[in-house]
């Protein structure tokens, strides 16, 4: 780092030695300033942790680029200011507050409740950790104007985060998102009102849990099949997170009786003692549950991430091995089941719709088209799925929506990813498969037989710190200015640039407008043979993500392994071509 930049960092750090900050914070900042190794000092202060359109997420610690009571406090104070402007006519503005199992999550949530109260805003604060979908539900149930949850989802233990919601229970979208970002940017430490009255803070607990579970139970489509197979062997792990509170209860509410837990992972802890990363997408996080599955010959294994919005699913393949299915496959199983059961019951009326994100498998679009169901492609993030639901409220019927990153929302009483409802419904799908003499693995193969084969894979490149952020931007610029002409042996046909909302056909030169309301730093490449590659920087982590989808045809279950091998080889070849 240049001397001038280091001087600027030191000057910012010196400001944190003032009486505005508490004694412990001042001590920790002084230690950073005294350390000859300036790397931690620089990372803590080289920028301000931005309250973006998805809220905050970062490493915990002192500094402008860290999650602490001052960065969280500024976010809450800015949100308070915006709520008071936006709902000035209401006699009482109210918010709901939740948190997960992470270190400092309770501290941050209680601090936020005090700030809301100090600004005259009533705060409904959950008495203990609760799943993110219940927070979304509570906002709607209590007719709140906003809500927040303290969570960093499936990030490693050093992270925490802050997500903000609007009055429909959805994470905030435009124009409110940008407006709130602007308000938060104005906040100085001395502007934060930390000490609000307790009489404007109300605890939420079992009563809200019961209301939420009552709605979850309505997600069940085939209670008769559940009753018939209620004793199937279900393994569930919360991976130390909030799912332990309600997911077993949801499974019991559906009627399932044989839920096998992993006691070591039922321990609520922000240290995540049995895993390196509490991410159900990663085999290491699922290892204990998969080992237990092999011991008891489980029918399905399910996991939720720390805030219980993502669902991980493990199935037994035709060789008797337990494997994690990816988020695209999970979403496929949900959509296929919902659509099939509605067709059987004759309840498809022609006004239903499905929503998926642009990086999620195109097979969902095929299912929708084949069954004359409207579908929408939106940006990554369930707030965009919720936005479509809000626009179509009272006009059309939402029947499901998901994204490849292990998120699904089977009903709209929640307006965010919902692992509580999803785990219960996936158990029901398992029972449905068994009722037909199939495993979940065979059911997935049957979807490929009916709608076409697809293999998806995601690879990410991590680049931390200031230099990493710059490198990620350089990668995007290179792909934008010089897109590949061929990939996987097939000519490039379409390039979609969501930063300009222009799709260009490289074979004909034709250009079309992409139907999205706002721009986003995402590129997509479509080859002539149906391969799709999406590239985007993560909005919450120091990563650039590459999503691959290879299309094919499956003629019989016997050919499945061969198709998998061909697709895997093709994806590996494309990765090599891209220098990954």
Residue 98: inside a domain: yes
In this predicted model, what pLDDT tens digit does every residue of 505-523 receive, in sequence order? Answer: 999 999 999 999 999 999 9
Task: Determine the Cα–Cα distance for residues 456 and 435; give it in Å rounded to an integer.
Answer: 29
Same domain, 492 and 507: yes
Candidate list 44, 153, 222, 421, residue with the active-site label: 153
Q: What is the pLDDT of residue 542?
A: 78
Q: What is the pLDDT of residue 1?
A: 53
Same domain, 555 and 462: yes
At residue 538 the predicted structure's pLDDT band, cuts being 50, 70 and 90, is confident
462: exposed, middle or buried (Cβ count in 10 Å: 0-12, 13-18, 19+): exposed
> The domain containing residue 442 runs over which residues?
221-451
Q: What is the pLDDT of residue 287?
A: 97
Q: What is the pLDDT of residue 450?
A: 96
Same domain, 564 and 486: yes
Same domain, 466 and 364: no
At residue 540 the predicted structure's pLDDT band, cuts being 50, 70 and 90, is low
Q: What is the pLDDT of residue 61?
A: 97
Q: DSSP label at 310?
A: B
Beta strand pairing status for 397-403 and 543-552?
unpaired
Q: Which of 517, 525, 520 is nearest to 537 (CA)?
A: 520
At residue 299 the predicted structure's pLDDT band, cuts being 50, 70 and 90, is very high
The answer, yes or no, to whether residue 454 has pLDDT greater than 70, is: yes
Poorest-pLDDT segment among 36-50, 129-143, 230-244, 339-353? 36-50
Poorest-pLDDT segment among 39-53, 176-190, 355-369? 39-53
Token pair for 461:
């490149």
Residue 56: inside a domain: no
Q: Which residue, of 422, 451, 480, is where some domain finishes?
A: 451
Cβ neighbours of residue 317 closer than 8 Å, sequence gap 6 or more: 323, 441
Q: What is the pLDDT of residue 38?
A: 92
84: exposed, middle or buried (Cβ count in 10 Å: 0-12, 13-18, 19+): middle
Q: Which residue, of 416, 451, 486, is where some domain finishes?
A: 451
Same domain, 89 and 110: yes
Q: What is the pLDDT of residue 41?
A: 95
In this predicted model, what pLDDT tens digit does every residue of 38-83 receive, in sequence order? Answer: 999 999 999 888 887 778 999 999 999 999 999 999 999 999 999 9
In this predicted model, what pLDDT tens digit does every residue of 211-262 receive, in sequence order? Answer: 999 999 999 999 999 999 999 999 999 999 999 989 999 999 999 999 999 9
- Enumerate the β-bridge partners of residue 300: 234
Q: What is the pLDDT of residue 343?
A: 96
Q: Which of 467, 478, 463, 471 is nearest to 541 (CA)?
A: 463
Same domain, 435 and 544: no
Domain count, the chain: 3
Angle separating helix axes 327-345 and 440-451, nearest 10 degrees: 80
CATH number, domain of 407, equals 3.40.120.10
C-alpha dihedral sign at 378, 381, 382, 387: negative
Task: Determine the Cα–Cα distance for residues 221 and 233; give it in Å rounded to an integer.
Answer: 20
Token pair for 410:
């089977």
Rounded to an integer, the average pLDDT of 413-424 is: 98
Q: DSSP label at 128?
A: S
CATH number, domain of 511, equals 3.30.310
Token pair for 418:
């919902």
The answer, yes or no, to whether residue 156 has pLDDT greater than 80, is: yes
Same domain, 305 and 412: yes
What is the CA 243 to chain-centroid distance, rounded? 15
What is the CA 226 to chain-centroid distance, rounded? 28
Mean pLDDT of the chain: 95
Residue 47: inside a domain: no
Burial letters 484-500, b for 16+ CB under 10 A, else e:
beebbeeebbbbbbbee
Residue 354: inside a domain: yes
Residue 457: inside a domain: yes
Token pair for 64:
């402008």
Rounded to an integer, the average pLDDT of 191-196 is: 96
Beta strand pairing status for 311-316 and 453-462?
unpaired
At residue 391 the predicted structure's pLDDT band, cuts being 50, 70 and 90, is very high
Task: Determine the Cα–Cα distance for residues 136 and 419; give it in Å rounded to an integer.
Answer: 13
Q: Which residue, of 425, 451, 477, is where some domain finishes?
A: 451
Same domain, 469 and 335: no
Contact predicate 150/105, CB 8 Å: yes
Token pair for 214:
């009552």
Task: Determine the Cα–Cα distance for residues 420 and 22; give it in Å rounded to an integer.
Answer: 39
At residue 579 the predicted structure's pLDDT band, cuts being 50, 70 and 90, is confident
Catalytic status, residue 153: yes
In this predicted model, what pLDDT tens digit does every residue of 559-575 receive, in sequence order? Answer: 999 999 999 999 999 99
In this predicted model, what pLDDT tens digit does every residue of 467-509 receive, in sequence order? Answer: 788 888 889 999 999 999 999 999 999 999 999 999 999 999 9
Residue 228: inside a domain: yes
Residue 513: inside a domain: yes
Cβ neighbours of residue 245 closer than 8 Å, sequence gap 6 or more: 128, 129, 130, 131, 209, 308
What pTM was computed for the model?
0.94
Same domain, 254 and 311: yes
Same domain, 396 and 503: no
Same domain, 240 and 359: yes
Residue 278: inside a domain: yes
3-state secondary structure 166-182: ECCCCECCCCHHHHHHH
Count of other CB atoms within 10 angstroms of residue 505: 14
Token pair for 204:
């939420």
Token pair for 397:
């019927």
Same domain, 160 and 236: no
């Amino acid at each position: 780092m240049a001397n001038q930049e280091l001087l600027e960092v030191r000057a910012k750090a010196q400001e944190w030695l003032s009486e505005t900050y508490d004694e412990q914070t001042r001590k920790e900042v002084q230690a950073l300033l005294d350390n000859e190794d300036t790397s931690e000092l620089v990372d803590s202060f080289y920028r301000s942790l931005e309250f973006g359109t998805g809220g905050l997420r970062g490493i915990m610690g002192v500094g402008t680029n860290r999650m602490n009571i001052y960065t969280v406090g500024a976010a809450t104070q800015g949100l308070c200011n915006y709520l008071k402007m936006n709902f000035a006519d209401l006699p009482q503005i109210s918010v709901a507050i939740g948190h997960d199992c992470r270190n400092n999550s309770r501290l941050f949530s209680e601090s936020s409740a005090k700030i809301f109260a100090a600004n005259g805003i009533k705060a409904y604060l959950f008495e203990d950790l609760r799943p993110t979908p219940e927070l979304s539900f509570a906002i709607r149930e209590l007719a709140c104007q906003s809500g927040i949850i303290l969570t960093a989802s499936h990030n490693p233990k050093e992270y925490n985060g802050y997500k903000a919601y609007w009055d429909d229970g959805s994470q905030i979208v435009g124009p409110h998102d940008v407006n709130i970002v602007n308000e938060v940017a104005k906040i100085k430490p001395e502007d934060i009102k930390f000490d609000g009255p307790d009489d404007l803070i109300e605890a939420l607990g079992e009563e809200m849990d019961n209301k939420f579970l009552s709605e979850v139970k309505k997600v069940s489509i085939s209670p008769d099949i559940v009753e018939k197979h209620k004793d199937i062997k279900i393994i569930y792990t919360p991976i130390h997170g909030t799912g332990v509170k309600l997911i077993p209860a949801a499974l019991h509410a559906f009627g399932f009786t044989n839920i096998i837990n992993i006691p070591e992972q039922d321990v609520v802890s922000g240290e995540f003692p049995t895993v390196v990363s509490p991410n159900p997408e990663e085999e290491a996080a699922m290892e204990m549950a998969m080992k237990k599955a092999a011991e008891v010959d489980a029918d399905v294994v399910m996991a939720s991430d720390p805030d219980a919005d993502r669902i991980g699913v493990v199935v037994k393949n035709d060789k008797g091995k337990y494997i994690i299915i990816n988020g695209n496959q999970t979403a496929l199983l949900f959509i296929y089941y919902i659509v099939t059961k509605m067709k059987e019951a004759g309840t498809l009326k022609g006004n239903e719709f499905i929503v998926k994100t642009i990086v999620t498998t195109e097979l969902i679009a095929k299912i929708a088209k084949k069954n004359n169901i409207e579908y929408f492609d939106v940006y990554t993030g369930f707030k965009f799925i919720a936005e479509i639901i809000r626009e179509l409220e009272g006009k059309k019927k939402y029947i499901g929506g998901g994204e490849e990153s292990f998120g699904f929302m089977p009903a709209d009483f929640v307006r965010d990813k919902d692992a509580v409802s999803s785990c219960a419904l996936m158990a029901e799908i398992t029972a449905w498969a068994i009722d037909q003499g199939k495993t979940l693995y065979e059911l997935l193969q049957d979807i490929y037989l009916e709608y076409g084969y697809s293999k998806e894979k995601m690879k990410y490149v991590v680049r931390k710190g200031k230099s990493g952020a710059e490198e990620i931007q350089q990668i995007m610029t290179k792909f934008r200015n010089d897109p590949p002409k061929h990939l996987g042996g097939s000519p490039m046909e379409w390039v979609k640039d969501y930063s300009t909302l222009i799709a260009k056909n490289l074979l004909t030169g034709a250009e079309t407008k992409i139907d999205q309301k706002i721009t986003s730093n995402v590129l997509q490449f479509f080859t002539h043979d149906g391969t799709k590659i999406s590239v985007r920087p993560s909005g919450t982590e120091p990563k650039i993500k590459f999503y691959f989808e290879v299309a094919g045809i499956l003629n019989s279950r016997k050919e499945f392994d061969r198709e998998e091998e061909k697709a895997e080889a093709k994806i590996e070849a494309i990765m090599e071509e891209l220098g990954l």
